[in-house]
Structure formats: structure tokens, C-alpha cells
Homo-oligomer: A and B are copies of this chain.
Amino acid sequence: MQPPSIRIYDPTLRDGQHAVRHQLGERHLAAYAAAADRAAIPVVEVGHGNGLGASSLQAGRAALTDREMLRTVRAALRNSRMAVFMLPGWGVTRDIDTAAGEGADIVRIGAHCTEANVTERYLGHVNRMGLEAQGVLLMSHMASPERLARECRRMVEFGAHAVGLFDSAGHYLPKDVSERIAAIRSEVGVPILFHAHNNLGMAVANAVAAAEAGATILDACARGFGAGAGNAQLEVLVPVLERLGYRLGIDLYALLDAAELAERDLIGANLPRIDQLSIVSGLAGVFSGFKSRVAAIAGERGLDARDIFFELGRRQVIAGQEDVIYDVADALMNGKMRRDADE
């Protein structure tokens, strides 16, 4: 049986923003979008790292407004479709209207893995506007395969044309991915997507595992440019999938050129790497966006940042619960003081 076609979805200009504090400018966006288009990459996503409406003091102010980013990328694309990402709460319905007005073709709505209900209003809105609606579950390792499948089915009922999983903490090994994609596949009839992170060196292998289990939309970024340890490396994943027999329709040399351009003009010294807190956050299953705050608090109090991460993992902390870092630090300090007193 011929393996199915895979649609590559490229969030370099959205997830990569996390690695440069959302400071990509018009020149960067235009140059990379044009290069991705030349390589025939089907979908180019753009935006603030946290999506539409997220530019703020708390999440970091982007160099450009959503409208400026969209307009720049739209002008640079000839054949590739343009996508945006939105987390309800950061973004609202009006932001989707803005994106549609600037020519977005795909709107992806994200929710914590057990909270698909928050996507209802937005997926329905996108669907009614005639755009492609995608629903994604974040931090997906925190729910069982069966729960993920049920949450995905709900998103399909809300109007999603495609649904799937983010491995936000980079926690999965390939068998974890296979099992979860297969569970979703048995529940929904729409295309399934997967978005990998490389904390355990498995991003490419996990994306391949997703494809083998039936996912047909795979996220990948030039040089893996993205939050924390980075994503699946686009220009590696594409020829690996082609070698396995999948049809992608992407031009290899133009793809390699786009990645070189990304490294030279966008990434520079911010090339993703797997450092020790990437590994620990991946093992612990904690969003690696906590890294700088955990490191700072550990430094202030003379604690080991790795202990904090493992304890955050035991407490199943999710993004937005950064205050728990202080509770964990207090608890570790108390434990340390008791141990010191016992000696």
C-alpha cells in the first residue's frame, strides 16, 4: 500500500519567535516566507510565539503587530497557504477576523489537553468563515490516549477540519506518539496533526512515528527553530519521510536553501540545542518555557534547578501556573533546612 501524502506545516515564523523573544522583523518574515514558498512548503504559520493577540508585557511584546506580520508574509507567499495560531484567552474572536482580513487560510486553535471545550466558539467561528479550522491539544502527554481521542472528537464536533497534538514538553518517545495518534485515528475521520519538540532528541523520530500511525499533517521548523530545545528539524524530516516513501512535493535543494537562510538571517546564535534543563524538563514533562524563571529562583535560593523541575513534574504543573515554582522552591528549602539540621 502506498503511504499517504503528508502535508508539512511550517511554524518557523511563529514557534521560532520564542527563541528570539518575538523580535522577528519584516525583513526576516518576508525573506523566510519567500524561501519557504520557493521550496513548495504547503503551509507557513506566522505570529507571536503564543499566537494571535498574545503580544503583551506578560508574554513579551513582539516587534510587529499581528496585522503587520500577516501582511508581510501574505505578500511574500505565492503558492503556500498562510496559517495562524491562537490560544483562547490570549486571542479573541476579533483577532481571528483580523487574520482572515489579512488573508490567513488556516486558523489553528489550541487548548490544554483536557480542555477542548474552550475551543468550541473559535473553531465554529473559523469554520463558518470558510477558513480551515484546526484544533490542537497542548501538553498532550498529561492525558491518556483515550482522553486525547475524546477531546479531539469534541473539536471535530465544534467544526475542526483537522485535529491533533502538541508535545509541548518534548516528553514523548516514539511509541507514546504511535499509541496516541492511533487512538485519535480510531475516533475521528479528519486529518490528524502532530507537533514535536526535541527535548529528548526524538523530534524527528516522533514525527515519523506520527506519520506511521496515520497523522498526515506534520509540523517542522527550519533548523528546528522554536521554543526550548526546538521542534522537528524541517529540512531533515522532509527527506527522511521521502526516503520512507511518503509523498511531500517539496523541493529538497530549495528547502535546504531556506534553512540556510533561516540560520543566517533569523536564528544566528539562537540555534536550538539540548541543554540540561531541556532534558530535565522533557523527562519531568514540564513546559520548558519555565526554564529561565526556574533557573533564576534556583540561583537566588541556592537550590538545584533540576530538583525544581522534577518536583514541578510530580505536581503536574502547566503553563500559566508559574507561581507554583515558588511553592516548590519553598518546599525544597524546608526539606534542605531539615536535612541540614539533622546532620
The chain A residues found within 8 Å of chain B, CB to CB, are 173-174, 200-205, 208, 223, 232-233, 235-237, 239-240, 243-244, 253, 256, 259-260, 263, 271, 273-276, 279-280, 283, 304, 306
Verify A201–B233 contact, CB threshold 8 A. Answer: yes
User: Out of B232, B253, B279, which one reaches A235, CB within 8 Å?
Assistant: B279
Verify A240–B271 contact, CB threshold 8 A. Answer: no
**Interface residues of A: mostly helix, strand, loop or mixed?**
helix
Copies per complex of this chain: 2
Verify A253–B200 contact, CB threshold 8 A. Answer: no
Least CB separation from A207: chain B residue: B201
Quote the shortest CB–CB distance from A292 to chain B (angstroms): 17
Verify B306–A256 contact, CB threshold 8 A. Answer: yes
- Write 30 A-B pairs (CB below 8 A) sorted by A numbering: A173-B208, A174-B205, A200-B236, A200-B239, A201-B204, A201-B232, A201-B233, A201-B236, A201-B237, A201-B240, A202-B204, A202-B240, A205-B205, A223-B273, A223-B274, A233-B274, A235-B279, A236-B279, A239-B279, A239-B283, A243-B283, A253-B304, A256-B276, A256-B279, A256-B306, A259-B276, A260-B275, A260-B276, A263-B275, A271-B273
Quote the shortest CB–CB distance from A220 to chain B (angstroms): 10
Verify B240–A173 contact, CB threshold 8 A. Answer: yes
Verify A202–B205 contact, CB threshold 8 A. Answer: yes
Quote the shortest CB–CB distance from A299 to chain B (angstroms): 15
From A236, A237, A243, A274, residue with most partner B Cβ within 10 Å: A236
